[in-house]
Structure 1
């Protein structure tokens, strides 16, 4: 407040941190959107591969009909999941690339790997082995995207809208899914399923996105936090000034750079050695960091096994199980499903994650997802023939329940977009201190893709009848229901609210004993903030502006 006039509250923010107006400028949004497009890598693949695989011309190219039903399920699972296998390796090496050559060059090399892998896949020459190899190489690039993209965005975004900015990455996951679903649908309707190599047309969407992102990197600046980590302080100041659209000597820019540098120097003083073993010791042996790593890893496990990722990947098959017959119809409703998730992701980014907070948005999403998967599980239990007996015809008396189950697929997508899918990237990107941010995020994303691989690899087999080694569609959804409920309880007890904090002040969330952090960590951190504010006001003799313990401007108030 200044002169007794209250500043308007921004409806997109959980906290009003009084940033200068120029901070929210076109250069910031251009950078956020450019790196947010990396999210489309996963979305494009998840949306395209099922439609491409179900193309008769693709199946003919790998002699799919010559295999048994169980072998076909395994081949489909392997082709779908091979990108996840490559992504495990890609995520594992992402921190090395990200910290050695920077966020910008890391993005360029992953785009080249992505294009190379898809080129091998598209020119596989009737070889199933080449299909696997191409998708593995593409995965090496795709696996780096959830490390490089969210880390860069979190490092350049102002604290008050960091959630919104990072969730643009999530929104682009669904943008990729929507475009992929409708590209499949358009190719099916306009080209037909008997045209040779029809599946190549939608698959080229991979190359379009990778090429666009590669070009956009030449219009962006390196992360100021990365530059400070490399000791390039003057360049970091100039870059931050450019991103914030403020002069280099502006108090906001100077205080932000000072805070980042002070926090990094504090980290370096507490280092357990400059080698990679020292970094690992800091992650696992410093209690604050260990708890953050526990949160980041647990999020990946619980989110992936809640089943929503598999619903996205195998949407046409699941809609067919629930009563949507015909290739065109299943592709169309899958496309609408992608739109629903995209709108939900944008709604979460704009009106929830920085407004009601990360934790509430996550719990709301999990609740919707739990309601949906429990209903679907109950319906498939009541009609056990669905998805098991290919000759079974759904009676008219079950039509209403079938439509309800189809609607619940959409609701589960909304819940996933509001909850787990946004938070698995956002929390991971913003929890960790600068020195270990890239390696910790890389480790979390490695687990992310390992679980995604296991999930996407297992689901086609789990959906089979018990006599074929599965647990039936009903049993599969009961499993998803149990994990979703468990995840909600875990979030309630263990996850703190991180909204509205600078990356450098995040440590205060973890001052309590580990078993109290999730329930009381944010309140405790706010009390520390208030105490620091009051103490500094007293020390400054009632000055109008004051800074926190690392020199970052926190508030501007009338005293």
Structure 2
């Protein structure tokens, strides 16, 4: 199955290996204004890999579409009338609670979905789990479309939430597992960026319906005005399901974990566009298999309680869970970004935008800004400048923008009142507040949003990766649920500006958090374990203290002609002999 480099069919490569003397190690890498792929053959970055990444990446749109859709639905006249959001007989506190219940019900379901994903993602595999949750997503959407009362609407949104809770475990874990180390950050950010493709489609669907579908017909509520906005959920789920059956290759790491060794090698060969006995495939399978074997011995009798015990009693894993992945979720969710997304229409009205059409247009522009900035961050920042620099720059921009918006609400609170005429200086300040909302979205997508899925998918060991990522996503949705529930009441209790000063304080803590993070840019997943043998206060210097010793990085060298070739001796050390294969890999 896996043979030494002497049996490799690539004659040109073989001749290079045999004839060229090994030169001195390559010089220390310098900063490049592009992703550094020099340690990896060109064929590793291919259409099969990119199509698999695309399908799992676009899965992020599931969560985003709902956020964009519900933020507009609560401003649509037909939706407001159907579910009593503006009932004059109810108190302001009751209506704020009703609005937050409707908007946050998907987050509540997502908590359960992320918790269930602890088992399902490992039991069914990454691809099969994706297909199952697409079907569940369709069921939840149909229930919502046919809703005529709050109870049915809640039920449909909770079921959709269970599906969405799974997506944030399935997508990032798969993308981290199949991506070569130079583009792992980019792949995870495609998922994070897809959230805002979903948000944008949701905003545009709401805008289209408010412009083209009347809210009443013959004096009766026209429910089609909001029901039409839910149809893209079914279309998106169906499209992802179909593409997953045609384009996706199951994760080799998961296959090795469940003892499907032959299939793991075949799948890795497909994903890398290399023969199964190629030195690169041998090295990568060896890296994965080493970790799998070690962890299988350590968790022979593992269980959910055992995994939970690891999260608490194993100092290294506990630090990763509570102080890195968990802290990223708490700080990110309470930085105010999701409040801006879900309540965008209301925040634009506080800045002086009047009427549902005007607010939805501004929301659509916000969606465009977030999509563009998310993918600029994915392709030109996260794997070029690194995770920490992306986080520093994103948090700083978001913090300054939110601070300006808070100051504006403090000085010009009357901007949201109907009939108010602003002075020229107040008008300019109002435009600045609109710009601040857009810039805060840019900062969020470059900063916290870039790392909130990536960190959990790359810092945990394989035996607990799916479990820990699922628990991180439970924390993610629990905080998002609390945030979306709390914001309407927070703005009533603290005044609108008080809530945004609170968000600024959270982002100050976020800068301290970013300073202490380890930089994992370009590392193989298997080498990450070595990083966390360091004390917590040295992790920020891990790139200097702990080199990447994975086999993939060790088998190649740059020859005198500047070409990437493979060291025969290194490969021979890596390749398992027949008797070792029988003992270790089967």
Instruction: Give TM-score scaled by structure 2 length.
Output: 0.86
Q: Is the 8 A contact 2:398 2:439 kept in 1?
A: yes
Structure 1 residue 142 and structure 2 residue 133: aligned? no
Q: Which residue of 2 aligns with 1:454?
A: 482
Q: Is the 8 A contact 2:350 2:415 kept in 1?
A: yes
Return closer, same or farther for 1:10/1:243 CA change in 2, 3 Å cut-off: farther
Q: Which residue of 2 aligns with 1:238?
A: 266
Q: Which residue of 2 aligns with 1:317?
A: 346
Shift of 1:189: 1.5
Return closer, same or farther for 1:109/1:544 CA change in 2, 3 Å cut-off: closer
Structure 1 residue 434 and structure 2 residue 462: aligned? yes
Q: Which residue of 1 aligns with 2:436?
A: 408
Shift of 1:192: 3.6
Correspondent of 2:450 among 422, 435, 459: 422
Shift of 1:362: 0.8
Structure 1 residue 102 and structure 2 residue 125: aligned? yes
Q: Which residue of 1 aligns with 2:12?
A: none
Structure 1 residue 362 and structure 2 residue 391: aligned? yes
Q: For 1:546 and 1:344, locate their aligned partners in 2 and report how far apart those are by CA, in whole Å.
A: 46
Q: Which residue of 1 aligns with 2:400?
A: 371
Structure 1 residue 275 and structure 2 residue 298: aligned? no
Q: Which residue of 2 aligns with 1:501?
A: 523
Shift of 1:449: 0.1
Shift of 1:78: 0.5
Q: Which residue of 1 aligns with 2:60?
A: 39
Shift of 1:544: 4.1
Shift of 1:59: 1.8
Counterparts in 2 of 1:39-438, with a 5 A limit? 39-66=60-87, 67-125=90-148, 127-194=149-216, 196-197=222-223, 198-219=225-246, 220-271=248-299, 273-294=301-322, 295-386=324-415, 392-438=420-466
Q: For 2:94 and 2:115, locate their aligned partners in 1 and report how far apart those are by CA, in whole Å.
A: 30
Q: Which residue of 1 aligns with 2:7?
A: none
Shift of 1:236: 0.3
Shift of 1:185: 1.1
Q: Which residue of 2 aligns with 1:485?
A: 508
Q: Is the 8 A contact 1:17 1:160 kept in 2?
A: no
Q: Residues 178-229 of structure 1, C-alpha deviation per residue, up to 9 Å, x if partnerless?
A: 1111111112122244351211111111111111111112122211111000
CA RMSD after TM alignment? 2.8
Q: For 2:550 and 2:42, locate their aligned partners in 1 and report how far apart those are by CA, in whole Å.
A: 24
Shift of 1:287: 2.2
Shift of 1:9: 9.7
SS of 1:82 mapped into structure 2: helix
Q: Which residue of 2 aligns with 1:467?
A: none
Return closer, same or farther for 1:226/1:240 CA change in 2, 3 Å cut-off: same
Q: Is the 8 A contact 1:14 1:500 kept in 2?
A: no
SS of 1:54 mapped into structure 2: coil
* 264-273 or 501-510, which deviates more: 264-273
Q: Which residue of 2 aligns with 1:540?
A: none
SS of 1:356 mapped into structure 2: coil
Q: For 2:285 and 2:95, locate their aligned partners in 1 and report how far apart those are by CA, in whole Å.
A: 56
Shift of 1:514: 1.6
Shift of 1:401: 0.8
* 264-273 or 210-219, which deviates more: 264-273
Q: For 1:502 and 1:460, locate their aligned partners in 2 and report how far apart those are by CA, in whole Å.
A: 43
Counterparts in 2 of 1:520-531, with a 5 A limit? 520-526=541-547
Q: Residues 351-404 of structure 1, C-alpha deviation per residue, up to 9 Å, x if partnerless?
A: 1111110111111100100110111111111123455x5665534331111111
Q: Residues 57-78 of structure 1, C-alpha deviation per residue, up to 9 Å, x if partnerless?
A: 1122223333332211111110
Q: Is the 8 A contact 1:311 1:318 kept in 2?
A: yes
SS of 2:452 mapped into structure 1: helix
Q: Is the 8 A contact 1:152 1:223 kept in 2?
A: yes
Q: For 1:44 and 1:401, locate their aligned partners in 2 and report how far apart those are by CA, in whole Å.
A: 31
Q: Is the 8 A contact 1:182 1:335 kept in 2?
A: yes
Structure 2 residue runs without a partner (length 5+): 1-15, 559-565, 576-586
SS of 1:526 mapped into structure 2: coil
Q: Is the 8 A contact 2:523 2:548 kept in 1?
A: no
Q: For 1:305 and 1:173, locate their aligned partners in 2 and report how far apart those are by CA, in whole Å.
A: 18
| Structure exhibiting the larger radius of gyration computed from Cα positions | 2
Shift of 1:305: 0.1
Q: For 2:101 and 2:477, locate their aligned partners in 1 and report how far apart those are by CA, in whole Å.
A: 14
Q: Is the 8 A contact 1:345 1:418 kept in 2?
A: yes
Structure 1 residue 30 and structure 2 residue 57: aligned? no
